[in-house]
Structure 1
Amino acid sequence: MSSQEAKLLSDFLLAPAPLRDFMTLRQFIDIFPRSHRENLAVQELYRELHRLREAEIEVVRNDITKEVKRSKPLRRAYAQERRQMDDAYVAGIDPVALQMEEELSGHGRKTPHTLQTVYSSIEDACQSLEAQIAEMEEENQRTLAEVQEAVGALSDLRHGRFAQSASGEDIGEEVLATLKRLEAVCANPAG
């Protein structure tokens, strides 16, 4: 059993867990209305809550033990993988950068990088980044055009000039027609 892992989990999950550690019987009784504080059932309720809490704590203790046992093979696998990565060190290549590249590319390599494979991977990454930058620039241009169009429309609105509506009618006539329809709906809500 890994004492560090067990201690960490126990400290985090069990340290303030017993009922008596954070609420005394007197504090529990004070929660109830004065007329019920002397009732023996309140003390029995406290004892029952304490018993249930202790049972839950025991379940958590057992789960911690199981989790620590389950983590042993994971730690072994991690240590083995770490040794393989350390053994795969190639002169001139930063192992941290190599690991980041593998994580970011989404597909880990089964064989260690060589200078040639690193160079081709970097070239692929550069091309991918250049394509993404070009897409972003196009999107920025479209967004800028939309913003400029909206600003122009708002400027026209500020100065009292209205563009033709989609129906080709004068905007004032269209607003009046819409208001008349709204008035008709309000006057006759059932229809």
Structure 2
Amino acid sequence: MNIEKSNIANLPTKHGNFRIRAYKENHQEHLAIMSENFEEIETPYVRVHSECLTGDALGSLKCDCQAQLNLALEFIAREGGLVIYHRQEGRNIGLLNKVNAYALQDQGRNTIEANLELGFKEDERDYSIVEEIFKDLKLTNIKLITNNPSKIEYIESINVGVEERIPAITELNKHNIHYVETKKKHMGHLF
């Protein structure tokens, strides 16, 4: 895998002060957002956050993505660790297809049914860049902030120990309750 990486830069945010490094694989660019004390932590808290432009940037209420990202950034700023901003929009079906999936959801499909109807698997994400970022940052044991058992399985499969799972529980609303229930019921998410 041919990975390009940036220098490390400072990033002050409303959540706290971070240091960031970008990683480029093919056409996708990902971000490691580290607490200022990241290198001093033996077993850091880590969140692998999958990109969601509609939620993260636009504040969509159809999902819990922005709330989970904010929760993770605030937690990492306070406790120390890392957020990997994993740029694979819409479970890696891309923004155009994600909007098409939204249109199918408007007609009553859940997120999985919409992806399948568009000819995709329920989840097309590839986490291989996460392994490269972990290697670059010399991570061997972490405390993972996630509800997704697939992320736990993947991380353990690359010989990184998950010493603890911290749930990423956020408030539900009338627009995302069906979305969260689908993740719980059909994808095994842990709430």
TM-score (norm 2): 0.18
* Rg larger for: 1
TM-score (norm 1): 0.18
Q: Determine which structure has the larger strand proportion and give its number.
A: 2
Q: Which protein, 1 or 2, shows the higher relative CO under an 8 Å CA cutoff with sep ≥ 6?
A: 2
